[in-house]
C-alpha cells in the first residue's frame, strides 16, 4: 500500500503559531480592558474594586491629605496630591474604576508576551513582576485574566482548520483509499 503523506497534514507553517499567539494575546487584553475574565472557558465580569481602592485609583493614586506614612520600613512625610510612594516612579495610565479594567500603570497587561513555540504549539504568558501580579490575583480568585473563552478558542480552532485545509490540498495530495470486499 502506498504512503498517504498524512504526516504533512500537521506540518504547520511557523507563521500560524505567530497568528495564534497574536490572536490570543489580543483577545485577552481586549477582554480584560472591558472588565471581563475567564473561569474555565466561560467569560465573567470582574467584581467591582473595593470602595477604598476605587477612590485611590480615580484620584491617580495620590494622597488626599498630608500625613506621615511608612514605606519600606521608614516613616515619611507626604503632602496632599503626592503620588502614593509605591507608585512614585510609575506612570498612571488608567483611572477607570467601572468596570474594573485591571490596568493602573499598564505594565501588567503589557507584560503578556510571546514566550516560545515548537512545531506543535505556542506559549504566551506573563514574566517577572507581571506574572506575580497575575498569579496573586488568580490565586485570590479576584481577577482571572489568563486563559481564553470558548468563543476565543473557536476562533483559534478556525485558524488551525484553515491551515489543515491548506495542508490537505497542497501537501498531502495523492491520497488513495482502497476498499476491499
Give the residue extent of every domain in the chain: 1-48+99-181, 51-97
Q: What is the pLDDT of residue 52?
A: 84
Q: Helix/strand/coil (H, E, C) string of 87-145?
A: HCCCCCCCCCCCCCCCCCCCHHHHCEEEEEECCCCEEEEECHHHHHHHHHHHHHCCCCC
Helix (H, G, I), strand (E, B) or coil at 177: coil
- Distance CA(173)–CA(42), nearest Å, equals 39
Q: The whole model's pTM is what?
A: 0.77
| CA end-to-end distance (rounded Å), the chain | 16
Whether 2 has a pLDDT exceeding 70, the answer reads: no
Of 113 and 56, more confident: 113
The set of cell numbers assigned to 87 is: 507608585
Q: What is the pLDDT of residues 79-137, one digit of tens each?
A: 888 777 677 767 777 888 888 888 877 888 888 999 998 888 899 999 888 889 889 88
Amino acid at each position: 500500500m502506498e504512503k498517504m503523506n498524512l504526516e504533512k497534514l500537521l506540518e504547520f507553517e511557523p507563521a500560524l503559531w505567530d497568528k495564534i499567539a497574536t490572536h490570543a494575546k489580543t483577545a485577552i487584553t481586549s477582554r480584560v480592558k472591558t472588565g471581563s475574565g475567564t473561569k474555565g472557558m466561560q467569560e465573567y465580569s470582574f467584581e467591582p474594586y473595593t470602595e477604598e481602592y476605587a477612590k485611590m485609583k480615580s484620584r491617580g493614586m495620590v494622597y488626599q491629605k498630608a500625613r506621615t506614612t511608612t514605606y519600606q520600613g521608614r516613616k515619611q512625610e507626604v503632602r496632599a496630591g503626592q503620588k502614593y510612594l509605591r507608585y512614585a516612579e510609575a506612570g498612571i495610565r488608567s483611572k477607570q474604576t467601572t468596570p474594573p479594567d485591571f490596568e493602573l500603570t499598564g505594565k501588567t497587561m503589557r507584560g503578556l508576551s510571546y514566550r516560545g513555540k515548537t512545531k506543535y504549539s505556542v506559549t504566551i504568558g506573563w514574566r517577572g513582576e507581571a506574572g506575580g501580579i497575575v498569579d496573586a490575583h488568580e490565586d485570590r480568585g479576584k481577577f482571572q485574566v489568563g486563559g481564553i473563552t470558548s468563543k476565543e478558542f473557536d476562533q483559534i480552532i478556525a485558524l488551525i482548520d484553515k491551515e489543515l485545509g491548506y495542508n490537505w490540498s497542497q501537501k498531502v495530495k495523492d491520497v488513495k483509499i482502497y476498499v476491499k470486499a
